[in-house]
Amino acid sequence: MTAPRKIIIDTDPGQDDAVAILLALASPEALEVLGITCVAGNVPLALTAKNARIVCELAGRPEVPVYAGCDAPLARKLVTAEHVHGKTGLDGIDLPEPRMPLQKQHAVDFLIDTLRAEPAGTVTLVPIGPLTNIATAFARAPDIVGRVAGIVLMGGAYFEVGNITPAAEFNIHVDPEAAQAVFAAGVPLTVMPLDVTHKALTTRPRVEAFRALPGRVGPAVAAWTDFFERFDKEKYGSDGAPLHDPCTIAWLLRPDLFTGRRINVEIETEGRFTLGMTVADWWRVSGRPENAFFVGDIDAEGFYALLTERLARL
């Protein structure tokens, strides 16, 4: 029996972030969540830090430490996404105010201290929001960069183009300078772009399978999905909504559900129309060195089966 992989989830919950956290917490034999670090993104920091604690309590895991991090991007004004996630970030169901405390330590300090304390190459970072906390930690403590086992992130797009601008995906667009720093850091990167998450769409049977689960978690996930599905169906003309962020955790649990290729990915920080674009050299024409495993496809049936099976445990 191998020891569970140690991870830190860096997040801006967000309904789909919440589902990613639940999937990780439901898989303790495979994943040990050392902590959850919060960043401003889908909603401002005060709400993301609150929402992460709500989700931990929903999962029955109030002992998981939650840290508040950066409240604004490195060099830009914060762009948020209440138009998708609602004013709380977790609209769709009323959940109680969290009773568990927010940790006093800043998220960036927790990232630095943890990566220094744990054996090198044993901690995987899972950023599913803007990359501000990760980039700040790397800039402040360059010695930790080589200690990271890998980064599995949700962000970017290539063939699916953008979802916040015509060219850019939201997480990268919010803080392109942070993304540029992380992509250039030399840490092994696995990227879940819109190209793959838009193939992981909710359907009525999939949502109803969540709703039918025993306990509080399945119905809560179904209610969240119902909420943001309305926006995405209208926007994309699709039958359901993508569950973006849980793809990162699913990759850690079941990499066989995904396919992709190692390529070079650069972050556009100056473009007039393309700010925040992930310029993915899918056809390997640039001659630039590979720096990311860019995922392109998913077994959606297998993904939803995994999600349903794990959420039933909570």
Place of tokens 């809560």: 220
* Integer Cα distance of 252 and 31 in angstroms: 8
Residue 139 backbone phi and psi in degrees, to 5: -70, -40
> Which of these is catalytic: 85, 173, 198, 244?
244
Indicate if 244 belongs to the active site: yes
Nearest by Cα to 66 from 83, 44, 51: 51
- Which sequence positions are flagged as catalytic? 244
